[in-house]
């Protein structure tokens, strides 16, 4: 706490002495030398807390990160020229080459082979904030809901910072990837013409925040370790409830919706909760059976707000587990990341003499085996129904094509290598088939 107070005072003093902030333009002009010093401070303090507390991110350290979020997004604001005026000569965190490449990627954000890992590097780790601001601008949501730009950036910065960067899978890059997939689904011809601005707002917000503050372990782990979140939410949708409540807390702290009527903002919070809670994998059969029943009866009426909301729930569920439907180069990276997170949980369970959870035993559960099971029991059934719903669209056909090819590839890897070869990495794979199967094509 003492170090945190000193740091706050130091940042405030340097900010007042060296910065000229134009709030309306949302840019920051600094003396270059002072700017370099100011940018080094976060790293120094971050290293200090890392050394003091190891891999566990303390509340104090998270507060310090949040202090800097507003400043960092001011420096990266050139990507947001379509949103706000730009002051010539202002100094920015990213150079022109990187900004140009990131802006070019945003022009293709609606294509299915969008590389979120590259985009995150080009935006200096700000992929979620940058993507959300761009999509809000594309849909005109800032104007429609009369959102305050400073409050919007503050909220998005808080969301991005509250994802745990040390998680291999459940981090802000995953949130940005799900948001990009959600955008592709919102553009589906059968859905796009029926959506209201509120539907789009809720869909994008839920995608961005659906895993916020994820601890990197699953619900059974929280329950068997008697974690306070499990007690708070009575062992039911523990993580999803926490993601939702955390999102509501940040909405209120940022004041993003404070200008709206109370009943409207409360309804938006409840609908966000309904969307985020739908990502609970334990409710998969519940949603799948209802979706299949609607399709069999052909009684979906997208003129009804309740039916549109249900489709948004299904779309978010699809976006959350769409990694096996991506091109192999991206899909493989996500597979390795999620398995690494599983294995870390298994190591924790072994350390504390707990029963190792399914899929978390690095000695027994290989990446190919985990992925084949995930595709067979979770992804394929869901996307087959989504394929029916879209009647089917070009995007849906592309996703199903990648899904089947990736499953076949994991099957070959499972039988081609011993478990030790594929437990943590699957780069030693068979050669790419001739022609590549069209996996790099752009799909609108």
Question: Active-site residue numbers?
Answer: 170
Q: Are 346 and 256 in contact (CB under 8 A)?
A: no
Question: Can you tell me whether residue 351 is helix, strand or coil?
Answer: helix
Least Cα distance to 166 among 57, 84, 78, 274 occurs for: 57
Burial of 47 (0-12, 13-18, 19+ CB in 10 A): exposed
User: Do the annotations mark residue 200 as ligand-binding?
Assistant: no
User: Do the annotations mark residue 173 as ligand-binding?
Assistant: yes
User: Do the annotations mark residue 321 as ligand-binding?
Assistant: no
CA separation for the pair 162, 170 (Å, rounded): 11
Least Cα distance to 275 among 220, 304, 232, 318 occurs for: 318
What DSSP letter does each residue of 62-98 carry, written as one string?
HHHHHHHHHHHHHHTGGGGTTTS---TT---SS-HHH
Tokens representing 437? 């199967």
User: Do the annotations mark residue 235 as ligand-binding?
Assistant: no
- Residue 59, number of CB atoms within 10 A of its CB: 9
Least Cα distance to 268 among 311, 214, 309, 318 occurs for: 309
CA separation for the pair 99, 76 (Å, rounded): 9
User: Do the annotations mark residue 174 as ligand-binding?
Assistant: yes
Residues forming the annotated binding site for Zn(2+)? 174, 210-211, 320
Residues forming the annotated binding site for AMP? 170-174, 211, 320, 371
Residues forming the annotated binding site? 170-174, 210-211, 320, 371
């Amino acid at each position: 706490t003492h170090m945190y107070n000193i740091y706050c005072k130091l940042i405030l003093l340097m900010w007042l002495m060296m910065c000229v902030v134009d709030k309306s333009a949302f840019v920051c002009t600094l003396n270059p030398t002072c700017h370099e010093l100011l940018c080094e401070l976060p790293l120094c303090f971050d290293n200090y807390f890392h050394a003091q507390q190891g891999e566990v991110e303390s509340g104090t350290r998270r507060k310090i990160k949040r202090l800097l979020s507003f400043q960092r997004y001011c420096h990266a604001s050139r990507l947001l020229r379509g949103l706000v005026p730009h002051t010539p000569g202002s100094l920015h965190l990213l150079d022109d080459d990187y900004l140009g490449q990131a802006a070019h990627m945003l022009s293709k954000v609606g294509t299915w082979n969008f590389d979120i890992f590259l985009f995150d590097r080009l935006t200096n780790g700000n992929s979620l904030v940058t993507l959300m601001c761009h999509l809000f601008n594309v849909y005109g949501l800032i104007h429609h809901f009369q959102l305050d730009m400073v409050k919007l950036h503050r909220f998005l910065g808080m969301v991005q910072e509250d994802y745990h960067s040390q998680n291999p899978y459940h981090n802000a890059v995953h949130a940005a990837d799900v948001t990009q997939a959600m955008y592709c689904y919102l553009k589906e011809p059968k859905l796009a013409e029926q959506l209201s601005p509120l539907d789009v707002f809720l869909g994008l917000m839920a995608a961005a925040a659906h895993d916020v503050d994820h601890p990197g372990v699953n619900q059974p782990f929280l329950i068997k370790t008697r974690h306070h979140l499990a007690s708070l939410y009575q062992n039911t949708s523990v993580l999803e409830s926490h993601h939702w409540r955390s999102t509501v807390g940040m909405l209120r702290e940022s004041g993003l919706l404070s200008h709206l009527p109370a009943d409207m903002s409360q309804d938006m919070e409840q609908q966000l909760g309904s969307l985020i809670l739908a990502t609970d994998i334990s409710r998969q059969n519940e949603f799948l059976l209802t979706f299949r029943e609607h399709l069999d009866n052909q009684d979906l009426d997208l003129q009804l707000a309740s039916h549109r909301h249900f489709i948004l729930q299904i779309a978010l569920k699809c976006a959350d587990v769409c990694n096996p439907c991506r091109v192999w180069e991206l899909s493989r990276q996500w597979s390795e990341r999620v398995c690494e997170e599983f294995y870390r949980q298994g190591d924790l369970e072994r350390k504390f003499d707990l029963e190792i959870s399914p899929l978390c035993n690095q000695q027994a559960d290989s990446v190919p085996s985990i992925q084949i099971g995930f595709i067979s029991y979770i992804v394929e059934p869901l996307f087959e129904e989504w394929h029916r719903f879209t009647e089917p669209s070009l995007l849906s056909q592309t996703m199903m094509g990648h899904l089947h090819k990736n499953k076949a590839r994991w099957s070959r890897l499972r039988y081609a290598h011993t478990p030790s070869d594929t437990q943590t990495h699957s780069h030693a794979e068979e050669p790419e088939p001739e022609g590549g199967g069209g996996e790099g094509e752009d799909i609108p």
